[in-house]
Amino acid sequence: MSGIIGKKIGMTSMFNAEGKNIACTVIEAGPCVVTQVKSVATDGYDAVQLAFDDKKEKHTTKALQGHFKKSNSSFKRKVVEFKGFTTEVKLGDVIKVDICPEGEFCDVVGTSKGKGFQGVIKRHNFAGVGGATHGQHNRLRAPGSMGASSFPSRVLPGKRLTGHMGDEQVKIQNLQILKVMPEHNILIIKGAVPGAKGSYIKVEF
């Protein structure tokens, strides 16, 4: 499995050969620099580390500066490992968007949009109390009973309650690569991918 790091630009739509309008996501993918090649002998497993998106020296720690200089790379914002990288690469190589196979399927990993502190209806799709009669003036969106009373006298772990929603790593599998535009470092993928505009995306294929 190979892959590339990108940045979500936004969504648009395009027409296929049958004239059907397809929603798709535009991703700025690469160029990525190979900053480390791991092996079983030295690291205990095989992996390729890619880095993407330039940043200033003053925003980079001394440790990372030395790490990037080993590959003669400029300082990068995002560093991601890909296990089982099928393409033969060496330290300092540049991976561009033309590595992506047009028409094939890929998996996309991103960080979902944060929703903040949410109630059980939005977070867990609870139905609510339903009718607003019989004195139910303030219980319409309440979670309801917490469970047992005398035993175990506590709320059990894993209970679906209110809390922080979103801002989690999400993988969407089997999304088709509709178009690759190497001259603009653009990758167009069918459907929606997790994350807000400008967020980093990991594409595996």
Sign of the C-alpha dihedral, residues 111, 112, 118, 123?
negative
pLDDT of residue 164: 97
Q: How deeply is 19 buried, as exposed, middle or buried, from its count of CB atoms within 10 A (0-12, 13-18, 19+)?
A: exposed
- Identify the residue whose tokens are 């079983």: 40
pLDDT in tens, 43-97: 898 899 999 988 898 998 899 889 888 888 889 899 999 888 877 888 888 989 8
How far are the Cα atoms of 108, 160, 162 from residue 105, in angstroms, in the given order?
10, 34, 36
CATH no., domain 3-116+169-204: 2.40.30.10
pTM: 0.83
**C-alpha dihedral over 28, 29, 30, 36, to 10 degrees?**
140
Query: In this model, does residue 129 exceed pLDDT 90?
Result: no
59-68 own/partner pairs: CB under 8 Å, 24+ apart: 67/35, 67/36, 68/35
Q: According to CATH, where is 2.40.30.10 located in the chain? A: 3-116+169-204
Quick one: pLDDT band at residue 39, thresholds 50, 70, 90? confident
Whether 36 shows a pLDDT value over 80: the answer reads yes
- For residue 24, what pLDDT is reported? 94
Note the pLDDT of residue 200.
Answer: 94
- Lowest-pLDDT range of 11-20, 63-72, 138-147: 138-147
Question: Which one of 33-47, 73-87, 180-194 scores highest in mean pLDDT?
Answer: 180-194
pLDDT band with cut points at 50, 70 and 90 for residue 170? very high
Question: Is residue 160 pLDDT above 80, yes or no?
Answer: yes
Give, rounded to a whole angstrom, the gap between the first and last alpha carbons of the chain: 6
Give the pLDDT of residue 138. Answer: 79
82/183 Cα distance (integer angstroms): 24
